[in-house]
Chain A
Amino acid sequence: MVLLFVCFCLFVCFSLLVLLELSLMLALLTKATQFFSSGHTNNWAVLVCTSRFWFNYRHVANVLSVYRSVKRLGIPDSHIVLMLADDMACNHRNPKPATVFSHKNMELNVYGDDVEVDYRGYEVTVENFLRVLTGRLPPSTPRSKRLLSDDRSNILIYLTGHGGNGFLKFQDSEEISNVELADAFEQMWQKRRYNELLFIIDTCQGASMYERFYSPNIMALASSQVGEDSLSHQPDLAIGVHLMDRYTFYLLEFLEDIHPASQANMNDLFKVCPKSQCVSTPGHRTDLFLRDPGSVLITDFFGSVRKVEITREAINLTNPTELSLRNELKSEALFYVDQLPVADIIHQKPKQKDWHPPDGFILGLWSLILLVFFKTYGIKHLKHIF
């Protein structure tokens, strides 16, 4: 009787242990699948400020605060394309040069000491922006100005400036429409230039910019609906301009609490800046996105969490080859050139210019003369003349 009881207890314990182990393994497996299931392997960010002139200080501060958060969460400068249409930090009207503040009383300098701007000033045009997105840049463009994303990249695109219903103004001289933007994203999708894309826009009537998207895997956020204006946050009396826009101000506050291991998801991002704080109604669009927004982490777009797999294989390194000494071929003494050789300059011969055949006006003139000559005298009379 007792033996049976003991056996029964042992059996229960054993089964419990097995169940526990199985559940642990299952948890690990789901964590592993979750670990590898988000599908992206690298992160890129394209941050654009499209406004020129000193009174648009707040747009540059907007972009720089997103740049600061994105760098803090791990995306390196080589993976960020930062476009600023005007220089506010070293502007002669800035009472504190080399700084761009986001809070009044100059609390937070979002410009910092380690900033790399890829497109500056007049380079920020609609054409350059679309070329960066689609990758169709001239071959001599340096790497820091290219968006070298592939089909496993998650890209964050942030635009700010002055906009309207269906367009965004670039530098007070041209516009990009929502149709052009949607087509650019479709080109990116067809060329497999992104895995998932998060599009944030902070302009007046920003929601109109994402209305026309039709490519998959795009999630979009805007600071205001169609017919509403996005308002700025607060002016600083020492600097004399408004420092930030409301939506990005509260977005920065939200992002300051995020660290690389944070588990906050997109639903928290949608709640940033409700109507009571923002005065405009922020909108978002998730119908093109395949995953559920609740399962998408903030760091999937704003951070650069690398997934590393450790291996135990060894690699044999070859020994470095002996460096051969450079042969001393030259034996005559070299000298520095005279910086202002007056005698040589005065007696300088004119450059031998290559002979080019005459073109344009001269050619036309000579052909006219010859035509008149031959018409007057005729071919068959020529042998009498010459």
Chain B
Amino acid sequence: MQNAFSSPQAADLGDLRQSDEAESNEDRKAFTPPPPNDQFQEEMVIRPLYSGDIYASFQFRTQWDTDFLHDGKKVSHYRLFPKSLGQVLSKFSVRELHISFTQGYWRTMQWGQPFIPSPPGAELWVWFHHTVTDVDGNWKELTNVLSGIFCASLNFIDSTNTVEPSASFKPLGLGNATDHRFLRYATLPREIVCTENLTPWKKLLPCGSKAGLAVLMKSEKLFHSSFHSQAVHIRPVCKDWQCTSTAWELRQTLNVVFDLYTSGQGKKEWSLFKMFSRTLTEACPLASSSKIYVDVTDNPGVNPLISTAVVLGDRRTYSVYDLTKKETFGQLRSLNLLLRWKGENDMLRPPLHAERYVSGFGLQKGEIHTCLYNSHPYRAYPVLLLDSLPWYLRLYVHTLTVTSKTRENKPSYIHYQPSKDRLRPHLLEMLVQLPPHSVTEVTVQFERALLKWTEYTPDPNHGFYIGSSVISALVPSIVAMDTNSTRDRPLFSSFFPTKEESSYFMRVYTEPLLVNLPTPDFSMPYNVICLTCTVVAVGYGSFYNLLTRTFQVDEPSAPLAKRLANIIRRLRGVPLL
């Protein structure tokens, strides 16, 4: 392979003609690059939790004024937006893409609500453009391409774990038509998240992991945590306040909760160095804004740089550090924040909380219970429950019951799509009204199927994971929400679009389930072969010999004296003994 280098300076080579040189100089002057129409913002929120743990949430947003789905021109010049994702969007006509990788389970009762919820394992949901004719084909290829980009086994997503929700997962971006035929949702609850997923995720950022907030992302500290979630969200948003045209927004989020005892040594004293073993030295040069928000609502003190924001239905106070300003870094040119708090008071109960477990005994039957807790004292609100169960749990839908406060609570909307063996999973969607201050329990009985012996995983005795249930709700908010989506707000408060002032949208994920299916003993074929061969060899063989062999009496050999005497007698010609 030969690399041909061309010398950049035309003047060094005497090969170019003078006229060419003049022409190229002229054109070089005439061509000016157009003003960049993309911008990048990075932000980190640090929130001390009541249990002594600390929650850090990174958000990186790239907004680009372009049109991937435009038929005529192909986008070819990428600046801040990663090219690998841009090509994926145009090739598969994707309108919205949400993918998340999570390790650990978010404990709502101890930690409150997360800014961006995500289920354990990998979750992918995509809205395709309405011009796509073969959505399933595009979905299959998209999952394979994403598995290569993120080094994850997303190629295990196929028709047995993909569903088409009919009412959940409405698009988070701009758009009019919401035909649910173009939506696909899949989760892989068993997907492991490790450095090999973080490495390509970091490489998608404009500054990589070399400058700005991404410098803090060291895998040895990030994975030594109670909860780690990284996600990529791509959607079309309003370009400006008039909202007549769209721009594409790419949000990369990373949420991590550090445990008080394993990383914090038992003290409610956290600093950036203790959390990430790094300090910040500069903002990303390509970022138009780079800020750190520290939640000081519950621990007011003399803090500089205060600002408030309405997030998750509550007005919280934040201490803001702007990394684009040199003063933030001080004399030593590095920023290390230290938080110390006492935290004696109780946490405000989150308005919505959900749990799920399997009851029953044995390997034939079982029952799934989903408990939804509404802790608001006087308001009732509707929730949409989405359950996607694999085909090998055979649901008995006639046993589905929804009870709140020991009375039956009939859902106002049920959509059930039964499974087809080895083709399609169960899909159950229900709209349930939760009465105030109550527990609603949804139960359904199931039977476990026996799989074919080649369909078992290499470690079947571990069990099979069932994906989390998704609960989407419009929860009443404590403070009036801002419905004007174009005002400049911090990134963490502008993820879910708000339409009403009195409520905000929330999504809660339950735990994934681990069920044991009746597992055969895989050493049995070997045992059967051994036993059968032994029986055939010993039993049948002996029988065959008895039947087919003839027996002859064998004379024992004569002693030595007799043999000698016989020899002498033969010589003499006398009859033998």
Contact = CB atoms under 8 A, between A and B. Distances in A.
Contacts of B170: 337-341
Interface in B234-284: 238, 242-246
Contacts of B27: 319
B114 interface: no
Given A313-B6, A339-B496, A339-B497, A345 B144 contact: no
A144 B4 contact: no
B301 interface: no
A311 B220 contact: no
A114 to B, nearest CB: 6
A311 B458 contact: no
Interface string B133-155: 00000001100110111011101
Contact of A311 (B4, B140, B200, B244): B4
Given A116-B200, A337-B178, A143 B16 contact: no
B313 to A, nearest CB: 14
A118 B149 CA distance: 10
Interface residues of A, number: 67
Given A115-B195, A143-B148, A345-B384, A120 B220 contact: no
A334 B144 contact: no
Given A316-B20, A334-B244, A117 B151 contact: yes
Interface stretch (A196-204, A249-257, A286-294, A325-333): A325-333
A87 B413 contact: no
B370 interface: no
Interface in A304-334: 306-316, 319-320, 322-323, 326, 328, 330-334
Interface stretch (A91-99, A213-221, A269-277, A368-376): A91-99
A316 to B, nearest CB: 7
Contacts of B141: 140
Nearest to B148: A142
B156 A122 contact: yes
B144 A141 contact: yes
A348 B412 CA distance: 11
B378 interface: no
Contact of A328 (B145, B200, B244): B244
B196 A116 contact: yes
Contacts of B151: 116-118, 120, 144
Contacts of B502: none
B192 interface: yes
B199 A115 contact: yes
B476 to A, nearest CB: 13
A123 B412 contact: no
B39 to A, nearest CB: 17
B15 A142 contact: no
B67 interface: yes
A97 B192 CA distance: 13
B361 interface: no
Interface string A347-383: 0100100000000000000000000000000000000
Interface string A106-131: 00000111111110111100000000
A85 to B, nearest CB: 8
Contact of A312 (B13, B20, B174, B522): B13
A116 B244 CA distance: 42
B175 interface: yes
Contacts of A340: 170, 382, 384, 472-474, 505
Interface in A210-231: none
Interface in B25-54: 27-28, 31, 34
Contacts of B473: 340
Contact of A52 (B6, B196, B458): B458
Interface string A156-176: 000000000000000111000
A72 B6 CA distance: 29
Given A42-B1, A336-B485, A89 B195 contact: yes
Nearest to B171: A337
Contacts of A337: 170-171, 175-176, 178, 497
B328 interface: no
B542 interface: no
B427 interface: no
A162 to B, nearest CB: 13
A224 to B, nearest CB: 25
Instruction: List the 7 closest pairs (A to B, CB-CB), nearest first.
Output: A142-B148, A90-B194, A336-B497, A140-B144, A98-B223, A171-B458, A173-B458
9 contacts: A115-B199, A120-B153, A138-B144, A140-B140, A307-B1, A326-B67, A332-B244, A333-B242, A338-B499
Interface of A: 41-42, 52-53, 87, 89-90, 96-99, 111-118, 120-123, 138, 140-145, 171-173, 306-316, 319-320, 322-323, 326, 328, 330-342, 345-346, 348, 351
Given A334-B244, A340-B473, 9 more contacts: A89-B194, A90-B192, A97-B223, A120-B152, A141-B144, A312-B7, A314-B7, A346-B412, A351-B166
